[in-house]
A and B are shown apart, each in its own frame.
Chain A
Amino acid sequence: MKIIRLLTLAAGLAASLQLTGCANISMSQPKAALETTTALRGTTMAPAAIGKFSLDSSRPADVDKSIGLRGGNSVKSPIDDSFSQYLRESLRVELEAAGLFDAASKTVINGTLTQSEADAAIGTGTAKLGARFVVTRAGSVKYDKEWIVDDSWESSFVGATAIPLAAAHYEGLYRKLTGKLLADPQFQAALAKE
């Protein structure tokens, strides 16, 4: 039973560190995924600008601000306290890493956050992220599509484990979503060099 005592000790101390009262977990600053960068460097896309990103107007404003995890705990965005702005920055850093970001470009990518949820339920945790992306060039729409990605994982009955893990999986969806968008041949065609 020593191993159980050891692990219980570790869990209890970690819980006291991570979850004293209610925890607000801030996601990391967006980073480019190397896999996406290497894929983009092999394409013939032209640099693009990033335009306006916002929450779908049909959704409650709170959806853009935080996600509650098991009561008073939450995950938040470090970018303007906004998930839609986190998505915007996630896309910008991906394009920049591949040398495909140009704030002055006439090709502009706009986005609307349509889905944002995570659940640290006991047993199986789930998360979902969705956004509609619109590409315009000189005012003409070249691309308009919604992408939705999701994730599920084994979720502990102890909040000290389950809540940070849910936040981590939710954060990972931003790379997954931008990766889907940037790998879409239709999107790449919309950004193709003229």
Chain B
Amino acid sequence: MTSSFSLGLRRLGVSLLIGASATLTGCASFYLDPATRDVSTAEMPKVAQPQPVKLNFEFQTRGAPNSRATEHLQGAVTEQIKASGMFSTLDAAPGGAILDIKLNNIPLNDGSPAAKGFVTGFSLGLVGSSVADGYECKLSYLAPGQTVPIVKLTRHAIHTTLGAANPPPGTVHVDSANEAVLKMTHAIISNALRDLAQDPAFH
């Protein structure tokens, strides 16, 4: 019973990071996983002839659409895509190119198959001292007239600790949950964009 209760609480807590981002302050601390580093605009491969694209962005929680988080991040994602210089506009005509970005939140401490398959390469802390939220970005680019998209997958994680608990080794402290989410989003998408820009099929 205790085990079941604890598992329930874990599933509850780790699924709520986004929802709590505006209010979690004080004794909770947030850290970005070091496995995924942000790619700056200067580091992004140049695209010789940027073309129009239609941007579709969606934040998901365990694969289901999360309208509130999508709305929260939509502006930042749009600005990031514009700043990348990879596309001329983000309002391609119907039937034109599509850039589809799905950012899926996968709680890593709930023992689910999705969590177990995700954790390799990430800096998980000691059990009982932190919780982690994994994020998987699936970026798909569908060129005009094409039926097979170019797909790039990248991952990231945010760790949360309470009080004086030590963070997982190598993680990068950020000041708030909202900052953690925004920086995670920028980093995970920047890696996917770089991978797309480096793909000869994209050009």
Contacts and interface: CB of A to CB of B under 8 A. Distances in A.
B129 interface: yes
A59 B10 CA distance: 40
A18 interface: yes
Contacts of A157: 8
Given A3-B128, A10-B20, A97 B61 contact: no
Interface string B50-63: 00001010101110
For the residues of B in contact with A, the DSSP-based class is mixed
Given A7-B9, A28-B70, A38 B148 contact: yes
B142 A37 contact: yes
For the residues of A in contact with B, the DSSP-based class is helix
B147 interface: yes
A156 interface: yes
A11 B9 contact: yes
B131 interface: yes
B105 to A, nearest CB: 11
A171 B67 contact: yes
Contact of A156 (B11, B19, B140, B146): B11
Nearest to A98: B95
Contacts of B45: none
Given A3-B129, A38-B149, A10 B66 contact: no
Given A17-B22, A156-B12, A6 B162 contact: yes
A171 B60 CA distance: 12
A60 interface: no
18 contacts: A5-B162, A6-B13, A7-B13, A9-B13, A13-B24, A14-B23, A17-B19, A26-B67, A34-B140, A38-B148, A38-B149, A153-B64, A157-B8, A164-B19, A165-B15, A165-B64, A168-B64, A171-B67
